[in-house]
Amino acid sequence: MLSFQGENILSVNELDREAIELIFNVAKKMEPYAKKYKRTNVLEGAVLANLFFEPSTRTRVSFGTAFNLLGGTVRETTGMQSSALAKGESLYDTARVISAYADAVAMRHPDAGSVAEFATGSDVPVINGGDGPNEHPTQALLDLLTIERELGRFERGIDGMHIALVGDLKYGRTVHSLSKLLCHYKNVRFSMVAPDGLQMPDYILDAVSNAGHRIELVSKMEGNLAADIVYQTRIQEERFPSQEEANKYRGGFRISQAIYDAHCKPESVLMHPLPRDSRGDANELDNDLNNNDNLAIFRQVQNGVLIRMALFALTLGVADKVEQYEVDVPWFSRKREA
């Protein structure tokens, strides 16, 4: 029987459809705890080492809170300068040291392959929070869970859907991983909407194609946004060779309520990995979409907490023990009413 106990979560490449469905089932089970209907103490006393060698407030806080919501406690590092890594310490040694303390590790690091290298020295499960241009598996999973849940609102499933991936498909790590996960599904129609020079890399197009899906490569949003899911990417400015290069693309793939009305379907769901750039010249998803029920960006964030709770519960072998350690919630929370 499939089990993640004691395992690392490093890459979407290791996940098949059965694994994805197990993770999603556990994630949905976590919802009452994330919405504060109930509390669980199952990981009380467990320590998460939340190692963020690259800045990221949202992902770091999401992992930390997910662990807290299972009752666990968190020890964190942010940045590189204050780390022993500055003294030439290998990732293997850092892992041996941190493992002595922790029960699990969540890690983000700017170098591709760094988290896998760290994992070779760790005797506790390591969850990849992003290793540079390479992978960000929990983001891919929360994106896919969101797609499943959003389509579920319209009583549809992922098989047979139409998805438009929009914007920076070349450097967008999230759309690469999401596309790979969608290879486990059937008959998906992909509209790859990207400006020249930022189209999806061939190795992803090949994988998608080999999985039997249909692909359209286009360079304009107009006429290509009438999809079930419209996934807008963030222009990955930090991954461009220079700011001037990045600026050429700024604000070019902007979706506002007007554009939504003109080009999307009434049920098109809008997604984005966040953060969305609110500066005037850079808008990706305008604020006038905030009252559009199909703007799913904040539900993505909530699903992210569920995915991370699920991964911690699964790798630490407590997914089936959470109810046993339930406690009530005495404080006020609007989430229970939302």
Interaction residues for its own copies, span 248-277 (CB under 8 A): 274-277
List C-alpha distances in Å: 192 to 33, 146, 175, 227: 37, 19, 10, 11
Cross-strand bridge partners of residue 162: 189
Distance, CA of 301 to CA of 253 (rounded, Å): 22
List the x/- string, 302-321, binding to its own copies by CB under 8 A.
Answer: x--x---------xxxx--x
- The alpha-carbon radius of gyration of the chain (Å, integer) is 20
Q: How many CB atoms lie within 10 A of CB 146?
A: 24
For the bound state, the minimum distance from the C-beta of residue 260 to its own copies, rounded and expressed in Å, comes to 18
Parallel, antiparallel or unpaired: strands 162-166 and 126-131: unpaired
120 counts as binding its own copies under rule CB under 8 A: no
For the bound state, the minimum distance from the C-beta of residue 97 to its own copies, rounded and expressed in Å, comes to 5
Of residues 30 through 89, those in contact with its own copies by CB under 8 A are 36, 39, 41-47, 49, 55-58, 61-62, 64-65, 68-69, 71, 73-75, 77-79, 81-84, 86-89
Give the residue carrying structure tokens 């007007």.
258
For the bound state, the minimum distance from the C-beta of residue 92 to its own copies, rounded and expressed in Å, comes to 8
**What six digits make up the tokens of 324?**
């046993």
For the bound state, the minimum distance from the C-beta of residue 237 to its own copies, rounded and expressed in Å, comes to 8
For the bound state, the minimum distance from the C-beta of residue 261 to its own copies, rounded and expressed in Å, comes to 22
- Between 83 and 256, name the residue whose CB sits nearer to its own copies: 83
Q: Decide: 213 and 187 in contact? Cβ < 8 Å.
A: yes
For the bound state, the minimum distance from the C-beta of residue 186 to its own copies, rounded and expressed in Å, comes to 32
Parallel, antiparallel or unpaired: strands 269-271 and 39-40: unpaired
The residue type found at 75 is R
Binder among 17, 21, 25, 101 for its own copies (CB under 8 A): 101
Give the residue carrying structure tokens 């400015």.
237
Distance, CA of 90 to CA of 118 (rounded, Å): 8
The residue count for binding its own copies (CB under 8 A) is 81
Distance, CA of 236 to CA of 246 (rounded, Å): 8
The residue type found at 125 is P
Distance, CA of 109 to CA of 103 (rounded, Å): 20
- Between 89 and 222, name the residue whose CB sits nearer to its own copies: 89
- Between 35 and 162, name the residue whose CB sits nearer to its own copies: 35
For the bound state, the minimum distance from the C-beta of residue 280 to its own copies, rounded and expressed in Å, comes to 10
List the x/- string, 142-181, binding to its own copies by CB under 8 A.
Answer: ----------------------------------------
- Between 205 and 322, name the residue whose CB sits nearer to its own copies: 322
Binder among 28, 31, 97, 267 for its own copies (CB under 8 A): 97
Of residues 2 through 21, those in contact with its own copies by CB under 8 A are 5-6
